[in-house]
Amino acid sequence: MLYPYKFKPILMSTLWGGDKIIPFKRLANTSQARIGESWDISNVQGNESVVINGKDAGKNLRQLVRKYKGKLMGESNYERFGNNFPILVKFIDACKDLSIQVHPNDELASERHGTMGKTEMWYVIDNNEGKAHLRLGLNKQITPEEYEALIANDGICDVLDEYAVQPGDVFFLPPGSIHSIGAGCFLAEIQQTSTITYRIYDFNRKDKDGNPRELHTELSKAAIDFQVKDNYKTSYTPKQNEPVELVSCPNFTTSVYDLTEDMLLDYSELDSFVILVCTKGHCLLKDNEGNEIEMHEGESILFPATTQEVQVCTDQQVTFLETFI
């Protein structure tokens, strides 16, 4: 019998990382510094999440998929993705600006790297008392040749849209979107399982050994969508005690729940795993098999495709994201 899975977070130190992830996730003190990312659910080769609860404790996500196949993934998902669990869930704490970057689509990533491309979304949790910002998309039309010149002359930021962010803001990033998470952003990221990133510009920063960080100008040029869009910020109306869909695309569907009372989540017609990512508060989750699991702020829980119902029990406000394919 499958059950709801919790995993040990994989903590990543970065040049731009901060100090919010450890207290947010209620983790034990660690000497690890500048933690920029917590990979909560990952099937990335070499960074597979390890189960920390129940009879499968100690197994990693790749082993779970190989063992349970469509019962974990959903039959249609397993047929589509095989043993490659398709979603990567992160929390990101940017103390400094991340590099300007872009991700390829599935076709280009498969051709160049033999992997999936990278579609992603961001849900803003904190904005450092209103000081946070991010860059996403072009604010004017440019040619590939102008793009190269802007990078060479440190001018790429001048043609990027910049957004001041608030908690609850949502941004959807199709492949090809030039972007950079800015200083002060603390957010949840849901993305395809891919680590293919082309670094466009890094503010002339040096790595830990004092060397300029590698840029991928030529690789990125073919990956960029040079179309100018009106707004990359997702418009939605927050509501209490009912789901609000944020993103629906072939790679994932994500909704947000802001609950002050109990709610039954019905997955009886869904042929997919479900991931719940808690961004505020805590609650008790009970599934139709009799399993119970607590979910706290900063935790992500994977429900197998065999789950029919989940009862959310709370005596306080709890906010979480729900993702499936």
CA–CA distance from 126 to each of 78, 94, 186, 245, 298 (Å)? 35, 11, 5, 20, 12
Across the strands, what pairs with 183? none
Rounded-to-integer distance, Cα 235 and Cα 213, Å = 35
The secondary structure of 23-92 as a DSSP string is: HHTTPPP-S--SEEEEEEE-EETTEE-EE-SSTTTT-BHHHHHHHHTHHHH-HHHHHHHTTS--EEEEEE
What DSSP character marks residue 110? H
3-class DSSP state of 313: strand
The secondary structure of 260-318 as a DSSP string is: SS-EEEE-TT--S-EEEEEEESEEEEEETTS-EEEEETT-EEEEPTT--EEEEE-SS-E
Q: Which of 100, 102, 120, 94 is nearest to 34 (CA)?
A: 94
Given a contact cutoff of 8 angstroms between Cβ atoms, the answer to whether 137 and 177 are in contact is: yes
Among 62, 112, 199, 213, the active-site one is 199
Residue 62 designated active-site: no
The secondary structure of 128-163 as a DSSP string is: TTTT-EEEEEESS---HHHHHHHHHTT-GGGGEEEE
Active-site residues, by number, are: 199
